[in-house]
Structure 1
Amino acid sequence: MPLPISVNTLNLEIQSLTHKHLGALVELDQACFGGLWTLDAYQRELESPNSVLLGSTSSLASNELSGMGCFWSILDEAHITILAVHPRYQNQGLGQAVLFSLLKAAHEHGLERATLEVRPSNVGAINLYQKFGFKTAGRRRRYYKDNDEDALILWLGDIQAPQFTLTLNTWLDTIKRRLNKSGWNLTFLN
């Protein structure tokens, strides 16, 4: 009878990012987007009182970001501006963890809804957002300047509705199970 295989669990920590993460933010941006945002842009996000910038690190390399997400608080809306998972960590549930954390933060900030733009060709991202209840609300023509691709506008409402807290708890359980299958244990840091 074969011996069971031991799987080492890594801690996946989601936290608010600070200026000490600037270099890691730019490295992750470069790996995921080829340099979409600059160091100055990330610095402005960190300094803005209307911006929430979260990141995920692992117990293996706490100085490296495995994922990040950002939203702007505009009136009663969380406008998600960026969501990225390093290519070597994709398809392990980290994107779900970062998106969950953004929506939880939006709920805690008292925001009513969340919105974002996504390329129609980014099927993986669209599937992720739809898992979390986002619906297509419109299209921005020729939104992406690199290739003039349109953007789909996705929308999630009722973040302050009483049932949203239950939805968050359900998502958290599902995400933890998914991450655990990939060898991750999710924790949240302040």
Structure 2
Amino acid sequence: MSKSKLELKLITTPDLNAVLELDMACFGGFWTLEAYQRELDSPNSVLLGLFAPFSPLELLAMGCYWSILEEAHITILAVQPQYQGQGLGQAMLYSLLKTAHDRGLERATLEVRVSNQAAISLYQKFGFKTAGRRRRYYKDNDEDALILWLGDMQYPEFQNTLENLRAKISDRLSQFSWYLVNSH
């Protein structure tokens, strides 16, 4: 069985229609076109996509973080619903953390719905710990958010952690006939 290429790229303006479709599929319209354009224009924002050039849905996953001082604040991590469970979320989170690490950031943080067990489990796999809770954070249903935190990203051990994760993610992706290439 042949493997399909997944390309990790920085998202650019021509990709925004696909970004909006993915946002709608995962979040029901979390951010607007203007909001995503602001992310692209901001020097403190990194918006990455996993593209499958020969797939009917070209943009399979995306992630975004803001650099705030020495922290990567992860704002979005989304995987097309029909491709969830294939390792793409892991590949996206790995790519965000690797990019943040390469930029010298020391820690990462994010908010996640308390009911989103799949996401919480993913973040815990990467070493995120619960740092607190934001009451009624999500306006659509007043759901609480957990604040998750990952430190020590500039310690040598973190580089080892990233390498180990990369190998595991590669194995996971290959089970679904994907292989990841960096093109940014």
- Give TM-score, length-normalised by structure 1: 0.95
Aligned to 1:4: none
Q: 2:175 aligned with 1:181, yes or no?
A: yes
- 1:61 Cα shift? 3.3
1:126 corresponds to which letter in structure 2?
I
Choose the corresponding residue for 1:52, options 21, 33, 46. Answer: 46
1:81 corresponds to which letter in structure 2?
T
Q: RMSD of aligned C-alpha atoms?
A: 1.0
Aligned to 1:155: 149
- 1:124 Cα shift? 0.2
Please give the residue correspondences for 1:1-190 in structure 2 after superposition, counting only pairs within 5 Å.
7-61=1-55, 64-190=58-184
- Sequence identity, in percent? 65
Change (3 A) 1:62 1:73: farther
Look up the SS of the partner of 2:59 in the other structure.
Answer: coil
Structure 1: where are the runs of 5+ without partners?
A: 1-6
Whole-Å Cα distance in 2 between the matches of residues 151 and 50 of structure 1?
24
Change (3 A) 1:124 1:63: closer
- 1:62 Cα shift? 8.2
- 1:63 Cα shift? 7.1
Structure 2: where are the runs of 5+ without partners?
A: none
1:17 corresponds to which letter in structure 2?
I
1:89 corresponds to which letter in structure 2?
Y
Look up the SS of the partner of 2:114 in the other structure.
Answer: coil
- Give TM-score, length-normalised by structure 2: 0.98
1:128 corresponds to which letter in structure 2?
L
Look up the SS of the partner of 1:35 in the other structure.
Answer: coil
Report the number of matched residues. 184
Q: What per-residue deviation string (whole Å, max 9, x for no partner) do you get for residues 68-115 of structure 1?
A: 000000001000000000011110000000000000000011000000
2:77 corresponds to which letter in structure 1?
L
2:165 corresponds to which letter in structure 1?
W
Look up the SS of the partner of 1:52 in the other structure.
Answer: strand
Look up the SS of the partner of 1:153 in the other structure.
Answer: strand
1:149 corresponds to which letter in structure 2?
E
- 1:29 Cα shift? 0.3
